[in-house]
Structure 1
Amino acid sequence: MKSALVTGANKSIGLEVARQLAQTGVYVYLGSRDLEKGKQAIEKLKEEGITNVEVIQLDVTNDESVKKARTEIGKKTKTLDILINNAGIYGGYPQTALDATIDQFKETYDANVYSAVRLTQAFIDLLKKSPEPRIVNVTSSQGSITLHSDPAYKYYDYKGAVYLSSKAALNMYTVVLAYELKDTAFKVNAVCPGYTKTDFNGHRGTGTLEDAGKRIVKYALIDKDGPTGKFFSEENNPETGEVPW
């Protein structure tokens, strides 16, 4: 049975990803900063008949919490097949280049960029033991510099200096990580779930959780001939999914 760790998985897109992965037979470690909320999410899944899941207390912005999670999971398995770096924050307001505060940038980069680095480095040893290791960094098409430089882009006027730049940084980390692992069995990709209706955006999104989950799970389960080092947003490119950096 394959195993996966999904961060920020006690609600919204993270929970849906955990649900869909578990439904395929993957054993899912559901990372949750708030242990009680994580337990509640597990109970919800069990009520649906999904039992191959368990909660792991995990604050992705805290080094000790990440180390503890690695120790706990290491006691349960010697191999991790899938890491999905889903946890993230928007960063609050203001988001303008001239008014956003340095503290906003620090907090947002910690949750959206440094967390992916922490988790990847902490679990890389378990991932390397998998015959088909997969890393999915959950990003946003809003992090595409190419798209946001194009006035024809449908979200061109939705600028946000803090959030957008954090996702652009996460995208570059994905490129470099995939390059460093290019001669291995790893597949490392950045995947945008789309503008999904969640707490994250005040439920203003237009996409469904089910579709968002499918987009992420698709690249968590790609085979040996699948892509690596790519940026996908099926919302923006329904044909191939790939979008420019």
Structure 2
Amino acid sequence: MKTVLITGANKSIGFETARQLLQQGYYVYLGCRDIKKGEQAVNQLQAEGLNEVELIEIDVNSIESVTAARKALGQKTQVLDVLINNAGIGGGIPQPSLETDITFFKQVFETNLFGVIEVTQAFTDLLRQAAAPRIVNVTSGLGSLSLHNNPAWKYYQIKPAAYVSSKAALNAYTIVLAYDLRDTAFKVNAVDPGYTATDFNNHSGPGTVPDAAAKVVKAATLGLNGPTGQFFSDDNAPETGISPW
């Protein structure tokens, strides 16, 4: 049975991603910062008959927590097939580039970039034990530099400075990570789940959580000949599914 760790998985897209992977036969480690909320999420999935799931306490903003999570997971399995870096924060709108406090920038980057790097580095040894390891970094269409320079883009005027910068940086890290692992069986990709109705955006998005999660699941379950180092986004590139960086 293949194993997957999903960060920020107690609600919304992360939770639905866990549900869909459980339905496909994966053993899911539900990465959650809040133990109580994580236990409630596990209980809900088990109530649906999806029993191959358990909680891993992890706060991606804390290297101590990430290290403890790696130790805890290593006591449960020696192989991790999939890592989904889903945890992230938006911080609300607006975020003007000249008025947004640097402390806020640092908070957003701590979760959206540095947390991803720390988690990825901590769990790579377990991923290397898998026959076909997959890393999925959940990003945003707002992380596309090319689209932000295109006045015809439908989201051209939406430019929260800290969030956009953090996701663009995450995309860059994805490119480098995929390159560094190019001669291995790893597939490393960034996935934009689309503008989805969640509490992340006060449920303003037109997309549904199941559809968003399905995009993440697709990247997590790529076959041996699947692409790596790509930025998947049906929302911004409906014809090809590949967004410009």
The normalised TM-score by structure 2 is 0.99
Residue 210 of structure 1 corresponds to which residue in structure 2? 210
Pairing 1:227–2:213 present: no
SS at structure 1 position matched to 2:95: coil
CA distance in 1, matches of 2:187, 2:119: 16
Distance 1:213 1:94 in 2: 26
CA contact (8 A) 1:139 1:190 kept: yes
Matches within 5 A, 1:40-189: 40-92=40-92, 94-189=94-189
> How many Å apart are 1:94 and its aligned residue?
4.5
State the percentage of identical aligned residues: 59
Across the two proteins, how many residue pairs are aligned to each other? 245
Cα separation, 2, equivalents of 1:171 and 1:229 = 9
The runs of at least 4 consecutive aligned structure 1 residues that moved more than 3 Å come to none
1:13 and 2:30 correspond? no
| Partner residue in 2 for 1:31 | 31
Give the root-mean-square deviation of aligned CA atoms.
0.8
Distance 1:236 1:175 in 2: 19
Q: Which runs of 5+ in 2 are unaligned?
A: none
**Paired residues of 2:140 and 2:193 also in contact (CA < 8 A):** yes
SS at match of 1:54: strand
Looking at structure 2, the residues matched to 35 and 238 of structure 1 have their Cα atoms a distance apart, in angstroms, of 38
How many angstroms apart in 1 are the aligned matches of 2:222 and 2:63? Answer: 30
The change in CA–CA distance for 1:139 and 1:86 in structure 2 (over 3 A counts) is same
What SS is found at the alignment partner of 2:75?
helix
Query: How far apart, in 2, do the equivalents of 1:75 and 1:206 lie?
Result: 41
Give the match's secondary structure for 1:136: strand
Q: Any gaps of 5 or more consecutive residues in structure 1?
A: none
Task: Tell me the TM-score normalized by structure 1.
Answer: 0.99
Q: What amino acid sits opposite 1:139 in the alignment? A: T
Contact 1:190 1:231 in 2 (8 A): yes
Q: Deviations over 1:192-237 (max 9, x none)?
A: 0000000000000110010001000000000110000010101122
Query: 2: CA distance between counterparts of 1:124 and 1:159?
Result: 33
Does the 8 Å contact 1:198/1:204 carry over to 2? yes
> Which amino acid in structure 1 is aligned with residue 68 of structure 2?
K
1:108 is aligned with what amino acid?
A: V
Q: Deviations over 1:55-112 (max 9, x none)?
A: 1111010001000100010001000000000000012454001111101110000000
Amino acid at match of 2:136: V
Task: Provide the C-alpha distance between the structure 1 equivalents of 2:119 and 2:23, rounded to a whole number of angstroms.
Answer: 24
Q: Is the 8 A contact 2:81 2:130 kept in 1?
A: yes
How far 1:239 sits from its partner (Å)?
A: 2.6
Asked if 2 retains the 8 angstrom alpha-carbon contact of 1:93 and 1:100, the reply is: no
Q: Which letter does structure 1 place at the counterpart of 2:119?
A: L
Measured in 1, the distance between the counterparts of 2:138 and 2:112 equals 9
Q: Distance in 1 between matches of 2:238 and 2:42?
A: 32
Q: Deviations over 1:130-165 (max 9, x none)?
A: 000000000001000000100010000111111001
